[in-house]
């Protein structure tokens, strides 16, 4: 097994809020190897995007602060780098694409200029060469007439095209790691499939590791090598995609998978849902954050944070039900 | 592009015509008889002389005829003779336009450059000292009337610390070449331009700060940071240009207000511009001159608006339209 590109260990991020300290990320650990695609899934507000922003050192600070753990990127701990060192990594070795292609590009610069800027920030090339590189990248992400589009302003392109421009920009410096934060949420279904296809193709071509944050379980099943399920700032289950999807260990993961609409389901039965809402991150109890909504919760769930229990191989989940019980005599 | 410009020019022409008519009628409604003023200047006159004056200036004709004659001449670039200065109005205004434009342009340039810079500085740390300073300064600058600020500056720099001249545009006793004349004018320009500019500087710094804070929260700023752009460049390149758009729009709209502000400032500082001329012409009921000044101010405002439109399109490609 190759060394992981990204290895996050016990990451803790706190946010100071008016209602006290919010533990936005607590004991988050996972790793990604070169060419691998890790999917992070979970409800809104569970810390997926915050994990991504932490890796790039872009959490708004104040109020946010990394209070513990490490983010090892190619062996270097990103949490300990100086701002200038971090800037070199951002957009160079680690690139990111965002949810909102409609607003993620600067309206006053052409698409080509914006890609060329990324190139020039990380490579010593002439403006002309950088622009030529931008055109090449636009071609690589499947934009027709790239020479023309490079001179277009963002408002002249559709949402799908803009997301392709974002991807072209992210990949222009051949990053070792690409973080895609719900890259298809704002797009049409047909365009979603194209974008996912493009990401998968580029990963296989360039060997870039991808962290994909998504709601789309279909995409996870199709593309992901590994999955991390997050709930209330914690990774509650992680492992190879097949194992997690076929044999989920955590009741939350099971609920999440059960609530995906299926074409072959009986149209008269209601879609199962997980009752309740995600708890406020400022007043998490001592116990399992999912316990108040969990159909299997017992008293012990509210008492202490469950540990990750290995299931098969790398597959583990943090649920008390999986812990070996003392068999009564 | 070409058709849009043509359309805008047509609108501008229609607007100018409307302004000419309205101003003419408005002035007729004002109390006072110019013939009496002219006669007064002559040290009194008999009824025959009064009639002669009325005839000479066309004041005895019906109102509509007067309007028709005025418009007809105006279209030929003749705005009549000044009753008071006894010179063609156009010559009179052109000789005063330069100083006013110099004053207005300096004040506006100063307000725009310093104001937007201050606003940007304040937005770097919205709870910092610079930000608080901008807020207080802009409140003071905005609420202090121009003539009050002017008088305070006159007292401060005229009496307490006599650094700058407080009246006129040139020193009449000074002799010298072109350079020393330019420096002399610049020296005289400091206080009036500062007075006129401070109000707008206050507004622009406030506006830039608010606009920057909004833009800095935009998704594309996060994108810029994510690709490794330095904070300096994030502020100066990615955010500033977007934040400038509302400032340019407001500055363009305010151009007319700045010119009317110049009337007060010129009066306080005896600046030999259109404002002083307007003030004196109104007192003297010198209608042709007042009308001429109104006409020229309208023209300047229209040109300023066309320019603003052009600059906005230059800054924001979304306004430029088309592919």
CA–CA dist A73, A59 (Å, integer): 17
Looking at the structure, do residues A60 and A209 belong to the same domain, yes or no?
Answer: yes
- With beta carbons under 8 A apart, name residues in chain A contacting B216: none
Domain limit, last residue, from A152, A174, A196: A174
Query: ipTM value of the model?
Result: 0.82
Angle at B107 between CA B106 and CA B112, to 5 degrees: 100
Question: Which residues are within 8 A (CB) of A307 and not within 5 positions of it... i.e. 6 or more apart?
Answer: A318, A323
Question: Do A228 and A210 belong to one domain?
Answer: yes
Arithmetic mean of pLDDT over chain B: 84
Residue B111, domain member (yes or no): yes
Q: Do A89 and B228 touch (CB under 8 A)?
A: yes
The predicted pLDDT at position B1 comes to 67
Q: Cis peptide leading into A62, omega within 30 of 0?
A: yes
Q: Is B181 exposed, middle or buried (0-12, 13-18, 19+ CB in 10 A)?
A: middle
Q: How far is B228 from chain A (nearest CA, A)?
A: 5
Provide the number of structural domains found in chain B: 1
Domain end, chosen from A174, A196, A218, is at A174
Give me the number of domains chain A comprises. Answer: 2
Based on the domain organization, do A186 and A150 belong to the same domain? no
User: Do both A168 and A257 map to the same domain?
Assistant: no
Nearest Cα to Cα of residue B87 among B280, B288, B295:
B288
- CA–CA dist A210, A6 (Å, integer): 10
In-domain check, residue A327? no
Asked if residue A222 belongs to a domain, the reply is yes
What residue of B is the nearest CA neighbor of A84? B230
Of the residues B125, B225, B227, the best mutation for testing chain A's interface (the one with the most A CB atoms within 10 Å of its CB) is: B227
Per-residue pLDDT, A288 = 85
Tell me whether residue B230 is exposed, middle or buried, using C-beta atoms within 10 angstroms of its C-beta: 0 to 12, 13 to 18, 19 or more: middle
Residue B80, pLDDT > 70, answer: yes
Judged by DSSP in three states, A25 sits in strand
Query: Do residue A198 and residue A168 come from a single domain?
Result: no
pLDDT of B7? 86
Same domain, A153 and A212: no
Examine residue B278 and state whether it is found in any structural domain, yes or no. Answer: yes
State the residue range of the domain holding A48: 6-93+175-322
Q: Which CATH number do you get for residue B274?
A: 1.10.3720.10
A155 CA: distance to closest CA in chain B (Å): 7
Task: Tell whether B84 is covered by a domain.
Answer: no
Test B228 with A153 for CB contact under 8 angstroms: no
Tokens of A293: 């909504």
Report whether A230 contacts A46 (CB < 8 A).
yes
- The predicted structure's pLDDT at residue A68: 85
Asked if B222 lies within 8 A of A89 by C-beta distance, the reply is no
**Which residues in chain A have Cβ-Cβ distances shorter than 8 Å to B229?**
87, 91, 117, 121
Whichever domain contains A36, its CATH number is 3.40.50.300
Any A CB within 8 A of B321 CB: no
Question: B221, B223, B230, B313: best mutation site toward chain A, by most A Cβ within 10 Å?
Answer: B223
Residue B306 lies in a domain: yes
Same domain, A127 and A269: no
B292 falls within a domain: yes
Helices H, strands E: what count in chain B? Answer: 15, 0
Higher pLDDT: A323 or B246? It is B246
Domain housing B310: 98-320
- Is B181 near chain A, with CB under 8 Å? no
pLDDT of residue A328: 53
**Per the structure block, which two tokens stand in for B125?**
């740390």
Per-residue pLDDT of chain A (329 residues; tens, 9 = 90+): 578 888 988 888 888 888 888 888 888 888 899 888 999 998 887 888 889 889 988 888 778 888 888 898 888 888 888 888 888 888 888 999 888 888 899 999 999 999 999 999 888 889 999 999 999 889 888 888 989 999 999 999 888 888 889 888 988 888 889 998 888 877 777 878 888 888 888 888 888 899 999 888 888 888 889 999 998 888 989 999 888 888 888 888 888 888 777 777 777 777 777 777 777 777 777 788 888 888 887 888 888 888 888 888 888 888 887 776 555 55
Judge if A154 and A10 occupy the same domain.
Answer: no
pLDDT of residue B275: 85
Q: pLDDT band for B322, please (50, 70, 90 cuts).
A: very low
Domain final position from A127, A154, A174: A174
- The CA-atom distances, in angstroms, between B317 and each of A110, A253, B250 are 9, 47, 18
A63 preceded by a cis bond (ω within 30 of 0): yes
Q: Which residues of A touch B (CB under 8 A)?
A: 56, 58, 87-92, 95-96, 98, 100, 103-108, 110, 117-118, 121-122, 152-153, 155-156, 166, 169-170
Report the pLDDT value the prediction gives residue B8, as an integer from 0 to 100: 81
Residues A53, A131, single domain; the answer is: no
Residue B38 in any domain: the answer is no
Copy the structure tokens of residue B158.
């005229």
| Domain assignment of residue B12, yes or no | no
Task: Give the whole-angstrom CA distance, residue B82 versus residue B72.
Answer: 17
Torsion angle, alpha carbons of B300, B303, B309, B312, to 10:
-70
Helices (H) and strands (E) in chain A, counts: 11, 12
The SS3 call for residue B321 is: coil
- Model confidence pLDDT, tens digit, residues B86-142: 888 888 999 888 889 899 999 999 999 999 998 888 888 878 887 888 888 888 877
Name the closest residue on chain B to residue A53, using Cα atoms. Answer: B226
CB within 8 Å: B222 and A58: yes
Q: Do B227 and A121 touch (CB under 8 A)?
A: yes
Q: Is residue B215 part of a domain?
A: yes
Q: Are A230 and A40 in contact (CB under 8 A)?
A: yes
User: What confidence category does residue B323 fall into, taking pLDDT thresholds of 50, 70 and 90?
Assistant: very low
CA distance A269 to B318: 49
A328 in a structural domain: no
A117 and A165 in a single domain? The answer is yes
* B17-76 per-position pLDDT tens digit: 888 888 888 877 776 677 777 777 667 677 788 788 777 777 777 888 888 888 888 888
């Amino acid at each position: 097994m190759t060394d992981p590109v990204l290895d996050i260990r016990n990451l803790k991020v706190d946010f100071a809020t008016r209602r006290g300290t919010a533990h936005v990320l607590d004991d988050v650990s996972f790793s990604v190897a070169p060419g691998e695609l890790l999917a992070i899934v979970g409800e809104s507000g569970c810390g997926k995007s915050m994990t991504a922003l932490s890796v790039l050192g872009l959490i708004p600070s104040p109020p946010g602060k990394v209070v513990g753990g490490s983010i090892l990127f190619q062996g270097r701990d990103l949490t300990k780098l100086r701002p200038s060192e971090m800037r070199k990594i951002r957009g160079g070795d680690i690139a990111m694409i965002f949810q909102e292609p409609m607003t993620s590009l600067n309206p006053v610069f052409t698409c080509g200029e914006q890609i060329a800027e990324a190139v020039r920030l990380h490579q010593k090339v002439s403006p002309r060469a950088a622009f030529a590189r931008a055109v090449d990248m636009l071609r690589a992400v499947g934009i027709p007439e790239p020479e023309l589009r490079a001179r277009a302003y963002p408002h002249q392109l559709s949402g799908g095209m803009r997301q392709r421009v974002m991807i072209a920009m992210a990949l222009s410096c051949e990053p070792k790691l690409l973080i895609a934060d719900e890259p298809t949420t704002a797009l049409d279904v047909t365009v979603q499939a194209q974008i996912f296809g493009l990401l998968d193709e580029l990963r296989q071509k360039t060997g870039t590791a991808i962290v994909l944050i998504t709601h789309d379980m279909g995409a996870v099943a199709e593309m992901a090598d590994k999955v991390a399920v997050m709930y209330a700032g914690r990774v509650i289950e992680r492992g190879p995609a097949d194992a997690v999807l076929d044999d989920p260990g955590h009741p939350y993961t099971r609920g999440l998978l059960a609530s995906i609409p299926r074409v072959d389901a009986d149209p008269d039965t209601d879609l199962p849902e997980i009752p309740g809402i995600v708890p406020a991150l400022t007043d998490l109890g001592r116990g399992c954050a999912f316990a108040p909504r969990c159909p299997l919760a017992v008293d012990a769930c509210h008492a202490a944070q469950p540990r990750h229990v290995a299931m098969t191989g790398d597959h583990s989940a943090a649920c008390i039900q999986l812990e070996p019980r003392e068999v009564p005599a | 592009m070409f058709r849009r410009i043509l359309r805008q020019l047509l609108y501008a022409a229609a607007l100018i015509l409307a302004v000419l008519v309205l101003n003419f009628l408005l002035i007729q409604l004002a109390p006072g008889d110019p013939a009496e003023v002219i006669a007064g200047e002559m040290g009194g006159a008999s009824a025959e002389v009064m009639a002669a004056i009325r005839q000479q200036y066309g004041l005895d004709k019906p109102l509509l005829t007067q309007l028709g004659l005025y418009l007809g001449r105006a279209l030929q670039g003749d705005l009549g003779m000044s009753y008071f200065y006894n010179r063609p109005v156009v010559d009179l205004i052109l000789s005063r336009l330069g100083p006013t434009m110099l004053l207005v342009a300096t004040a506006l340039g100063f307000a725009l450059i310093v104001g937007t810079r201050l606003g940007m500085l304040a937005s770097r740390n919205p709870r910092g000292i610079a930000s608080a300073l901008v807020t207080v300064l802009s409140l003071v600058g905005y609420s202090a009337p121009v003539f009050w600020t002017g008088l305070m500056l006159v007292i401060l720099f005229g009496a307490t610390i006599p650094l700058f001249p407080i009246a006129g545009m040139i020193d009449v006793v000074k002799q010298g070449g072109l350079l020393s004349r330019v420096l002399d004018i610049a020296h005289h320009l400091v206080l009036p331009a500062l007075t006129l500019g401070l109000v707008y500087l206050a507004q622009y710094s406030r506006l830039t700060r608010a606009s920057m804070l909004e833009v800095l929260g935009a998704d594309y700023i996060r994108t810029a940071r994510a690709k490794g752009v330095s904070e300096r460049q994030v502020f100066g390149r990615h955010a500033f240009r977007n934040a400038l758009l509302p400032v340019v729009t407001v500055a363009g709209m305010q151009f007319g207000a700045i010119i009317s502000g110049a009337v007060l400032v010129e009066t306080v500082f005896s600046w030999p511009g259109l404002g002083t001329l307007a003030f004196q012409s109104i007192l003297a009921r010198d209608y042709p001159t007042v009308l001429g000044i109104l006409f020229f101010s309208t023209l300047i405002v229209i040109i300023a608006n066309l320019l603003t439109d052009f600059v906005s399109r230059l800054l924001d490609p979304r306004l430029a339209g088309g592919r």
